[in-house]
Amino acid sequence: QVQLVQSGAEVKKPGASVKVSCKVSGYTLTELSIHWVRQAPGKGLEWMGGFDPEGGETIYAQKFQGRVTMTEDTSTDTAYMELRILRSEDTAMFYCTTHFQGETDAFHIWGQGTMVTVSS
C-alpha cells in the first residue's frame, strides 16, 4: 500500500524559500510519478507540477515556472518541492500526490499536506 508522508508545517517571511518533503513508502519513488498541488485557505486545488513519466522529465505549471523546483532522492524515496521568493499569497496547504499503476490522468494517492504560512 502506497503512503506519502509529508514534512511538517512551516512559517516563512516574505522573500524567503521553503522546501517541503514527501516520503514514499510501500513502493519506490521510481515506480511513482509525484506531483504537487497547492490549496490556499478556503480555495480550490491548483496543480503546480510534477514528473511526467512519458516525457521522462519534470513539468511545471506556467504560473510557477521559474519560482519552483521539484526534485527527487531515489536513495531515500523522498520527493521535494522548493518554492522561492515567497509572498503572502503563497500561504497555503501543499500536497504531494501521485499517479498509480500507469494511470496518468488522475492522482490516486495523496499526502497529508504541509501548511506553509508566509508572514512578516
Partner 1 sequence: SYELTQPPSVSVSPGQTASITCSGDKLGDKYACWYQQKPGQSPVLVIFQDSKRPSGIPERFSGSNSGNTATLTISGTQAMDEADYYCQAWDSSTDSYVFGTGTKVTVL
Q: Residues interacting with partner 1, by CB under 8 A?
A: 35, 37, 44-47, 52, 59, 61-62, 95, 97, 103-108, 110-113
- Shortest separation between residue 14's beta carbon and partner 1, angstroms: 26
- Shortest separation between residue 106's beta carbon and partner 1, angstroms: 4
- The identity of residue 85, as a single letter, is I
> Do 33 and 104 touch, CB atoms closer than 8 A?
yes
Rounded distance between C-alpha atoms, residue 92 and residue 114, angstroms: 8
User: Measured from the CB atom, is 93 or 118 closer to partner 1?
Assistant: 93
> Do 52 and 33 touch, CB atoms closer than 8 A?
yes
User: Measured from the CB atom, is 19 or 108 closer to partner 1?
Assistant: 108
- Shortest separation between residue 109's beta carbon and partner 1, angstroms: 8
**46: three-class secondary structure by DSSP:** strand
